Amino acid sequence: MKKLVKILKNRMLVIKKLGLFFVQLLLNKNIISLKLFNDYFICFIFGTRFSEKYIFKDSVILRHYDKGYYYDFEIFKILKIDNKSLFTDLFFENIIFFIIDKGKNVFNKDHLYENFGLKIEKNDIVVDAGANIGAISAYAAYKGANVYAFEPIPETIEYLEKTIELNKNLPGTIKIEPFALSNKTEKIKFLMNSNYLVNSSAIKQIQENRDYAQKEIEVNAITLDEWVKKNNIEKIDFIKADIEGAERYMLLGATKVLKNMKPKLAICTYHLPDDKQVLEKIVKDANPTYQIFHGKMIMYAR
């Protein structure tokens, strides 16, 4: 019964995305929209198990951008990664929404960090909390921002370094900060699996829900307030955070930044059940002048 429910959920997800890409095709009649629709139409016809193999190995849109050892998405480049879960999670949940019309797509805002009037601008100082392999950092650098990419997992940092090298000619810059952002400056325990690097977490409630083997590693955590002071950072314009349930601790360690710099915020709220309420309260307590907007998966503030 559980297997049937899982199959039906996967099927419904494919149908939903097929509908979204059909709308995108109607709104933007271009080769990229056509290829996206083609991928998910094949998934719809042949089923999700086939589609998972097809999308990763032989997707028409990935072939369109294939340059050998990396993908050139026109606005930024991403290394080819021999890690199915890591790349497909990043590509089909984030990257495609940046490459359609060079970041100006008008459908399915659930996964976008620019929404409700919040934009990354040229010369912005951007904090990318949970940078992973650097897709969002590269997008911000494409727009001319200077990015501090916070990523504490050594294995992931190796990918991030290669992303930076591939995108060294972008208008903006990316600098790696090998820390987890939290409410204390200390060493913390992370659980991770090399095949699921996007899901690495220090939050027990998140860790317990994983259905695969994990190993424990120790990483350095720092508060954003302390990092700003140590590095003489004069302003932060935009904070993006997708850090597997630790968003609340990152905000608690950034109350001075929120009060004195008031950066634009795009903070993920889909990891813990009370994320929306808790994160909004922390932000408003730190700076009552913030306007808060909630998308399906992200809280925006300005």
Domain spans, the chain: 109-301
SS (H, E, C) the chain: CHHHHHHHHHHHHHHHHHHHHHHHHHHCCCHHHHHHHHHHHHHHHHCHHHHHHHHHHHCHHHHHHECCCEEECCCCEEECCCCHHHHHHHHHHHHHHHHHHHHCCCCCHHHCCCCCCCCCCCCCEEEEECCCCCHHHHHHHHCCCEEEEECCCHHHHHHHHHHHHHCCCCCCEEEEECCEECCCCEEEEEEECHHHHHHCECCHHHHCCCCCCCEEEEEEEECHHHHHHHCCCCCCCEEEECCCCCHHHHHHCCHHHHHHCCCEEEEECCCCCCHHHHHHHHHHHHCCCCCEEECCCEEEEC
Q: How many CB atoms lie within 10 A of CB 39?
A: 23
Residue 110 burial by Cβ neighbours in a 10 Å radius (0-12, 13-18, 19+):
middle
Does the pTM exceed 0.85? no
Q: Which pLDDT value is given to residue 114?
A: 87
Q: Give the chain's radius of gyration (CA, Å).
A: 19
Asked if residues 272 and 242 have their Cβ atoms less than 8 Å apart, the reply is no
Share of the chain above pLDDT 70, in %: 62
Contact by Cβ (8 Å): 201, 244 = yes
Segment 276-298 shows an average pLDDT of 96
Listed range (38-42, 51-55, 58-62, 110-114) with the worst mean pLDDT: 51-55
- Fold classification of 109-301 is Rossmann fold (3.40.50)
Q: pLDDT tens-digit profile of 166-203?
A: 999 999 999 999 999 999 999 988 776 655 555 554 55
- Measured CA to CA, the distance from residue 161 to residue 137 in angstroms comes to 11
Model pLDDT for residues 134-170, shown as the tens digit of each residue = 888 998 999 999 999 999 988 889 889 999 999 999 9
Residue pLDDT, tens place only, 67-116: 888 888 778 888 777 655 555 555 555 566 555 545 454 334 445 788 88
| Residues 224/127, Cβ–Cβ less than 8 Å | yes
